Structure 1
Amino acid sequence: MDYLTASSQEGKFLAEEPYEWHKNGLSEDGAINMEAPRKWRLLKEKTGHGAFYGMRIVVYGDCIAPPLETLKRVIKAGDGTILATSPPYTRFLGTGIDYAVVSPGMPRVDMWVQEFLKHEIPCVVADYLVEYVCKAGFSLERHVLYGTHAWAERSFDELKSRAEEIDEELDAPDASSDDDDVVCQVCGSGDRGDVMLICSDESGSLGCGVGTHIDCCDPPLTDVPEEDWFCSKCSTTRNSANNPIKKKKSFLSSSMTK
């Protein structure tokens, strides 16, 4: 709430870190690891990917807590993929499903449960995914079904490995990049590169190359424009060049044409 109030007063979204939780351990009700929000924000900020990036899921049975529609929105927001929410699952079984989210109480002898087990797909309840985000770093074993703990751990490790590979790629020095990173000419920050506009055309032959966050523009923009963007100074220069003011001919020059 303090963050929204301060952002409203400033007329733009402020840096989140000063308003973020920085405590260790769980919240008083035990529902959230107090370090989790910061962890996922930094991941998104650094890689552009959410908590469920690369995760492929099928849902079988009723989803009560959270409801199916809520689960679908959360997985999508976290860059995961729900392949199917009802049978048949045949065409997905051999495609590398990370988890089958199965409703509690579904018997092991169920036909589709048997198919999941046959293909070594870990079966979990929806709370596995909830706590994967909210209680990052804490054990998820109690949410694994039918003794598929080893497979669940394998999927977890594979997802973690993919995230680490992305981190390593981002941390690797880029010989082709300039030594100086582009920073916003308004707020001075080089963060949030996904919403940083660079004053230039597609060829790089026009514009001064300064950076500006979309929300630091005057007036602020809500989305990154698809067309070329130029700062106010370069826009003025370009408009002047495209619409030159015709100078009045002097009396002398006009008389010479007579």
Structure 2
Amino acid sequence: MTNLQALSRFYLTLVPFLAAAVALAIGHSKPQLYLPIWLVHALLMVIAVRHLGKNCLTSLDPQQRQRGAIALLVIIPWTFFTVFAGMGPPPTSIADWVATATEQQIRYALLIAGGISITAGFALLANQLRQSGEKTYGLLGLLAMGIALPLFILNMAYWGSFLVESFTHFSGVSMAKRPDWYLAMRALFTWISGVEVALFYLATAGFAQALQSIGWFKARACRLYLIFSLAGALLSVLPPFSIEPLVIATYLVSIPAFPFIMPYLMGLHLLNLANRTLPIVQ
């Protein structure tokens, strides 16, 4: 790996964590401010991916090129997810939801598109794993993702469409009390959210174990993925607790883009494999 490739990987590895830190620390900014910054950052990401994946994306080996395609499918969504750093977390009041309705619709539309892209990437990865002789963990991971994706789309549509329209209506009629149907829907989607988030984390655990089985992950890296994935799955389905650290942890692991951080890091790893002297598993 060249120094430029190492620098590119370091920068790309920091991307989701820096975006989350900015979003949580600064909150919502004006589009006139964050969109130009995001465009510059997106260009830097494209350049970094090009340098890191040069050996993989331009290889004459079809296995290497498919590995590059898999990586791109899970990395590209994060080029768009980073715009959430300027949008900040979802609003906490009806007035803010109504004022930022268009941004919220864009946020959840990008998440849906990103979830579909990442699932497609992992479907291709499951195929490569099967060709390499791994037929259990990759299949279980793909099954978990296949169940999670429709729930994820439904959940994101709830946040991006149903809530926006409901809050606009509530604001227009000045309701002091939420109708029963709204409370029932909110309870339902709390369950749906917990299940789909847990399934995405479990899918990541399955693919991490599969990648170790064929030698693309070292045992230590696999253990880290398993620990964080299983912890995320458990926290996402825990009932509400009054213990502050658990409340914060449950909130963080359930942020829609957060379950996609580990797949993103896996994508970087797949690009980086071509920069090493590891043999290609046939």
- TM-score if structure 2 supplies the norm length? 0.27
- TM-score if structure 1 supplies the norm length? 0.29
Larger Rg: 1
Higher strand share: 1
